């Protein structure tokens, strides 16, 4: 208990210091974060890309082996949630608000970058491919690996749901395992807190912008951003006081239905044939390029392409790693009773298919406007990237309703993320207690709010990404360690089973 | 000059050491149970 108190106090202090620093001196914090992240990215881009590719190949490889038949839980356990609800929940936890934010903005930003170097059609294809890659199967392989490891150890070896549990379980009583385990829990807490703080900030921008469009304002004023932020904090504090129950599942499902509704609306009312072609050719190119792209580091393309690679793909990969412990624990919790094969295919394929459809449609309509229209959306990538999703909806009929739906979806995605993150953080910081007290949960909720405020004050979306990446850096190593533990546990357990079968 | 940045080299050596350590953790014999 002593150790978990120390863990709680240390991690709370670190998050509070970063939060206060960000409020008092945002430029200083950002400069430091940028220096560290740049140095790391400059030195170890290959390592990050290699790691995520190994995770992807490992997860897919498992489904072809007999380990794929192993059940996460007792052999008699069956899944708690239906597959569509399960996928909706893990999608809402893993990506959610970011997809709303970047739906049009990301493919068009890539297109803007590529259009000077490549002919327009090729630039459009590559822009869509880059967005699909950044939000694609590699992200889910990172989540899948973390979740699979925590689920395997928790449900088959009976450990608490902590990041440190696999290491401590496999190497009991060894000093290094105790130290590394403690550090892992500590760094997981920091990574989740900073990652979710960044997500809160992005969501606040999105919602504030939507509200100011509805009220006829030009851009979201600082007052509007502050007001939305306060409403959001007020909305997520009450659910922290009560049990999660099935409420979280319902909220995720509603948010997901809104997102599906938005994409369907855009495909049907937009240039339907063009968008369907865009989705299908996007999927085709992605499938063909997925593995080589995962190992592409743009070394020979000069400084500008290198900078682009670090600012986007590499930052995304590190960002998913930052979310790994949170999404991993959440996905592990909702996946009890599934076989490893079901788990891997569900976690990797389902959400990836959705995001390729999402970018094919929203990116496709943005590219349609850039290639065949006035190029107004394309110009916005350089001026007001936060507003692009709304600007697109404004060019389709019934924009008031779709804008409201987008605001509601963004709001729900953030509320569910913060509530579940505060819950998971509470679990982590009290030694794996599956039901942390409401006091601990509310403290985390407030801290996530402070971190969110720090990131709002730090300015642009790019700044937030840098801060999120900073929180995630240590976790690149911890995720590798978790994968190692899973491989070793599978080997040891299969050896034990073989020995038992021989008896 | 073709000599690289020393910080870069040290960080990469750290990455190699990490990979080596992970391979060792997978391959090493199971420690004796305390009981």
A427 CB-near residues (< 8 Å, 6+ apart): A161, A162, A329, A433, A434, A436
Average pLDDT over all residues of chain A: 85
E strand or H helix that includes residue A119: none
- pLDDT at A459 (0 to 100): 62
The secondary structure of A212-245 as a DSSP string is HHHTT-SS--HHHHHHHHHHHHHHHHHHHHS--T
Q: According to the model, what pLDDT value does residue A142 have?
A: 94
Residue of A42, A174, A480 lying closest to B8 (CB–CB): A42
A385 Cβ neighbours under 8 A, 6+ residues apart: A105, A109, A461
A1 pLDDT above the threshold of 60 = no
Asked if residues A121 and A457 have their Cβ atoms less than 8 Å apart, the reply is no
CB A222: neighbour CB atoms within 10 A?
10
Question: How many CB atoms lie under 10 A from the CB of residue A121?
Answer: 10
User: A339 phi and psi, to 5 degrees?
Assistant: -75, 160
**Burial (Cβ within 10 Å: 0-12, 13-18, ≥19) of residue A458:** buried
Which residue is associated with the tokens 């009976």? A158
Q: Per-residue confidence at A465, pLDDT binned at 50, 70, 90?
A: low
Residue pLDDT, tens place only, A366-390: 999 999 988 888 888 888 777 888 8
Residue A454's H or E segment, with its range, is helix A438-457
- Chain B touched by A491 (CB under 8 Å): yes
**Distance (Å) from the alpha carbon of B9 to chain A's nearest alpha carbon:** 8
Residue A275's H or E segment, with its range, is: helix A272-294
DSSP A396: S
Query: Residue B3: its pLDDT value, please?
Result: 84
Q: For chain B, say whether A42 makes contact (Cβ under 8 Å).
A: yes
C-alpha closest to that of A146 among A217, A208, A195, A102: A195
* Predicted confidence band of residue A244 (pLDDT cuts 50, 70, 90): low
pLDDT of residue A467: 66
Contact A479, A141 (CB under 8 A): no
Contact (CB, 8 A) for A274 and A368: yes
Q: What percent of chain A stands above pLDDT 90?
A: 34
Q: Which residues, other chains included, contact A60 with Cβ-Cβ below 8 Å and sequence gap of 6+?
A: A344, A348
**Among chain B residues, CA nearest to A47:** B15
Hey, are the CB atoms on A43 and B11 less than 8 Å from each other? yes
Question: pTM for this one?
Answer: 0.88
| Whole-number Å distance between alpha carbons of A332 and B9 | 37
Q: Using CB atoms within 10 A of its CB, is residue A266 exposed (0-12), middle (13-18) or buried (19+)?
A: buried
Q: Which residues of A touch B26 (CB under 8 A)?
A: 484, 487-488, 491
A179 touches B at CB < 8 Å: no
Mean pLDDT, chain B, rounded, equals 82
Q: Is the pLDDT score of B20 beyond 80?
A: yes
What mean pLDDT do residues B5-26 have?
A: 89
Residue B6 sits at the chain A interface (C-beta within 8 Å): no
Cβ of residue B8 closer than 8 Å to a chain A Cβ = yes
Minimum distance, in Å, between the CA of residue A44 and any CA atom of chain B: 7
Q: How far apart are CA A109 and CA A101, in angstroms?
A: 13
Judge whether residue B8 has pLDDT over 90: no
* Residues of chain A positioned with their CB less than 8 A from the CB of B15: 44, 47
Q: What are phi and psi of A71, to 5 degrees?
A: -95, 140
- Cα separation of A200 and A405, whole Å? 18
Q: State the Rg of chain A over Cα.
A: 22
pLDDT at A243 (0 to 100): 59
Mean pLDDT of A251-261: 89
- Cα angle A199, A202, A207 (rounded to 5 degrees) comes to 120
Question: Which tens digit of pLDDT belongs to each residue from A48-104?
Answer: 999 999 999 999 999 999 999 999 988 888 888 888 888 888 887 777 778 888 889
Q: Average of pLDDT values for B5-9? A: 83
Q: Measured between alpha carbons, how far is A298 from A486 in angstroms, rounded to an integer?
A: 31
Is A477 at the interface with chain B, CB within 8 A? yes
Predicted local distance difference test score (pLDDT) of residue A462: 58
Q: Which of A33-47, A77-91, A168-182, A442-456 has the lowest mean pLDDT?
A: A33-47
Identify the band that residue A463 occupies on the pLDDT scale cut at 50, 70 and 90.
Answer: low
Interface confidence (ipTM) of the complex: 0.89
pLDDT at residue number A45? 85
């Amino acid at each position: 208990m002593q150790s978990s108190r120390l863990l709680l106090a240390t991690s709370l202090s670190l998050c509070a210091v970063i939060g206060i620093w960000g409020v008092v001196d945002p430029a200083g914090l950002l400069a430091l974060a940028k220096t560290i992240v740049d140095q790391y990215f400059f030195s170890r881009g290959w390592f990050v890309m290699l790691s995520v590719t190994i995770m992807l190949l490992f997860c897919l490889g498992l489904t072809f082996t007999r380990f794929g038949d192993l059940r996460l839980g007792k052999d008699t356990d069956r899944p708690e949630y239906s597959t569509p609800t399960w996928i909706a929940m893990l999608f809402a936890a893993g990506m959610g608000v970011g997809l709303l934010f970047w739906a049009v903005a990301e493919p068009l930003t890539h297109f803007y970058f590529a259009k000077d170097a490549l002919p327009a059609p090729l630039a459009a294809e590559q822009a869509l491919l880059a967005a699909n890659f950044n939000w694609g199967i590699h992200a889910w392989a990172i989540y899948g690996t973390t979740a699979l490891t925590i689920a395997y150890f928790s449900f088959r070896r009976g450990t608490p749901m902590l990041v440190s549990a696999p290491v401590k379980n496999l190497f009991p009583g060894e000093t290094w395992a105790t130290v590394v385990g403690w550090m892992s829990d500590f760094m997981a807490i920091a990574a989740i807190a900073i990652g979710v703080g960044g997500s809160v900030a992005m969501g606040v921008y999105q919602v504030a912008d939507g509200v100011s469009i509805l009220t006829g304002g030009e851009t979201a004023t600082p007052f509007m951003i502050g007001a939305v932020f306060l409403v959001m904090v007020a909305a997520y504090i009450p659910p922290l006081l009560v049990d999660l129950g099935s409420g979280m599942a319902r909220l995720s499902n509603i948010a997901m239905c809104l997102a599906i509704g938005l994409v369907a609306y855009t495909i049907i009312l937009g240039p339907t044939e063009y968008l369907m072609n865009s989705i299908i050719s996007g999927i085709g190119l992605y499938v063909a390029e997925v593995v080589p792209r995962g190992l592409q580091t743009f070394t020979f393309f000069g400084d500008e392409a290198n900078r682009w690679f670090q600012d986007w793909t590499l930052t995304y990969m590190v960002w998913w790693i930052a979310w790994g412990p949170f999404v991993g624990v959440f996905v592990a919790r909702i996946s009890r009773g599934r076989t490893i094969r079901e788990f891997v295919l569900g976690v990797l394929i389902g959400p990836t298919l959705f995001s390729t459809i999402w970018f094919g449609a929203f990116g496709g309509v943005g590219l349609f406007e850039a290639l065949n229209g006035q190029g107004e959306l394309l110009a916005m990538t350089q001026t007001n990237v936060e507003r692009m999703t709304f600007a697109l909806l404004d060019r389709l009929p019934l924009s008031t309703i779709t804008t409201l739906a987008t605001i509601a979806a963004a709001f729900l995605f953030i509320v569910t993320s913060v509530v579940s993150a505060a819950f998971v953080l509470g679990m982590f910081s009290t030694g794996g207690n599956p039901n942390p007290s409401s006091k601990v949960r509310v403290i985390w909720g407030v801290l996530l709010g402070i971190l969110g405020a720090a990131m709002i004050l730090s300015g642009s979306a790019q700044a937030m990404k840098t801060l999120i990446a900073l929180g995630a850096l240590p976790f690149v190593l911890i995720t590798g360690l978790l994968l190692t533990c899973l491989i070793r546990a599978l080997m040891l357990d299969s050896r034990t089973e073989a020995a038992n079968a021989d008896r | 000059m073709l000599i690289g940045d020393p910080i870069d080299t040290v960080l990469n050596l750290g990455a190699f050491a990490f990979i080596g350590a992970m391979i060792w953790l997978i391959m090493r014999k199971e420690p004796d149970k305390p009981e």
